[in-house]
A and B are shown apart, each in its own frame.
Chain A
Amino acid sequence: MTNYDAQEVARIHQELRERLPRDPASRVEALEKILTEKGLVDPQSIDAWVEAYQDHIGPKRGASVVARAWSDVGFKQRLMADAPAAIDELGYLGRATGHLKVVENTTTVHNLVVCTLCSCYPFSILGMAPAWYKVAAYRSRAVRDPRGVLEEFGVEISNDIEVRVWDSTAELRYLVLPQRPDGTEHFDEDALASLVTRNSMIGTDRDLKVTALGED
């Protein structure tokens, strides 16, 4: 039974330092072995979870949400008003998206998402978070020097654009709706979705490029 004893957990962390191997692979192997032998986890379930996030649940889902919002005004309205219900229409409601909120980029606004306290991320529409999203360099600076962070990603934001940083401090998760690029009026949803980068839905990318793929 969980005792919610923080002092005890601090002591356990110290003990684990001595008792666990230093390389992550061996640590996770030990965890899986103990939990499996105790009947607390089924390795086949783990296999399935790996496959689900390797092959099925990833940023392509977010991209198709964006493409739908660009091409269907009614969907966009529903998405901005109640994002969980809107993504449920596409079958994407799930882990960490029960309180999803969509924030829209415009000619005068750029949105950037971070979680300074842990690394909260809308798993069921964007999949696993990229490595940079989870490290101290991004988490510390996104709220203090967002323009400097964006520059490192090759994104220049002119001074007449307001940057809005969303720090995910509660169970709300944020998805940036990037601007639809010019010259895509005749694109269908699949072609539009192929233009949407994962980073543009977190806010570390802004002007989407119209690629040959999109024009096919």
Chain B
Amino acid sequence: MDGAHDLGGQQGFGPIEVDSVSEPFNEEWEGREWGIAQCALTPDITIDWWRYCRELILPEDYLTRPYLDSWAQTDFATYIEAGWISLEEVDHRGSLIGVDEPLDLPCITSVEDILKDERNHAVRYHKVVESQPLFSEGQNIVTNKEGVSGHTRLPRYARGIKGAINAYHGAHVFPDLSAQGKTTHQHLYSVVFACADLWPETHNSKDKVFLDLWESYLTEA
């Protein structure tokens, strides 16, 4: 979607606060939100649906509110959309009714459990598929010129641009459909673009930008 989240190349945000304190949680609520996000998710949610719901936050909030606050907002939205909590309960700041079938929560209550279990959370999104990748290393491609109205991972700044395949990553879960709850796999590539092809003011630059892009975002140049 053409949203405020698609920030690459936008101008006017000013200098970066390079020394901003954030180690690792600035304030207590940030730690709480991090913890909630790790151990409470609706059972049928996909990471791409969650990202899409974050992109749907009103632009003025998306651009001005703290990062982990936008996570909390997204959690509220996904839980409410799925019917696990209601807007009335938001007003009430508490539960008005239990859930029909409480989740079978994993009984992680200690740091030791988390550290022991951590490698099981290294989610792999790739899969062996029957189809052969269309493109090979070094091949020239051009990215889609049109955007899509739902969730997608081809940023606006890299649309309709010529690039080259840098590497093939295998077939990965396709985010555009995963954000609709459908798990399909599609060939994924590392694609390299010359800064000079992306930005008018960098025509003398030899710098490069690499993006990981799915096959349907690309056509042969």
Binding site for B on A (CB under 8 A): 1-6, 8-10, 12-17, 19-20, 24-25, 27-35, 37-42, 44-58, 84, 88, 91, 93-95, 97-99, 114, 116-119, 124, 127-132, 134-144, 146-147, 149, 152-154, 162-172, 204
> Could you say which residues of chain A place their CB within 8 Å of the CB of B51?
117-118
Q: Which of B26, B53, B155 contacts A116 (CB 8 A)?
A: B155
User: Cα distance A56–B113 when bound, in Å?
Assistant: 12
Q: A140–B198 Cα gap in the complex (Å)?
A: 13
Inter-chain contact B95/A37, CB cutoff 8 Å:
yes
Within 8 A of A (CB), among B10-60: 10-11, 13-18, 20-36, 38-40, 42, 44-45, 49, 51-54, 56-58
B75–A163 contact, CB under 8 A?
no
Closest beta carbon of chain A to B203's beta carbon, Å: 13
Question: Count of B residues near A, CB < 8 Å?
Answer: 120
Q: Which of the residues B5, B24, B157, B179 comes within 8 Å of A127, measured between beta carbons?
A: B24
Q: Which of A28, A93, A95, A137 contacts B13 (CB 8 A)?
A: A137
Known: A28-B36, A52-B114, A117-B5. A168 touches B212 (CB 8 A): yes
Report which of B13, B173, B198, B212 forms a contact with A136, defined as CB distance below 8 A.
B13
Residues of A within 8 A of B67 (CB): 119, 131, 134-135
CA of A45 to CA of B37 in the docked complex: distance in angstroms? Answer: 11
| 21 A-B contacts (beta carbon < 8 Å) | A4-B181, A6-B52, A9-B78, A12-B77, A13-B73, A24-B72, A27-B29, A40-B103, A45-B105, A46-B39, A48-B113, A93-B119, A98-B122, A99-B125, A116-B7, A128-B34, A132-B22, A144-B198, A162-B208, A163-B208, A169-B153
Instruction: Say yes or no: is B165 at the interface (Cβ < 8 Å to chain A).
Output: no
Contacts of B35 in A (CB 8 A): 45-50
Instruction: Say which residue of B8, B61, B72 sits within 8 Å of A31 (CB atoms).
Output: B72
Nearest Cβ on chain B to A47's Cβ, whole angstroms: 7
- Mask of B61-83 contacts with A, CB within 8 angstroms, 1/0: 10101111100110111111111
Q: Are A94 and B155 in contact (CB under 8 A)?
A: no
Q: How many Å lie between the Cα of A131 and that of B21 in the bound state? A: 7
Q: Are A139 and B8 in contact (CB under 8 A)?
A: yes
Given contacts A48-B108, A143-B209, A144-B199, 6 further A-B contacts (CB under 8 A): A24-B65, A48-B109, A95-B38, A98-B125, A124-B122, A168-B212
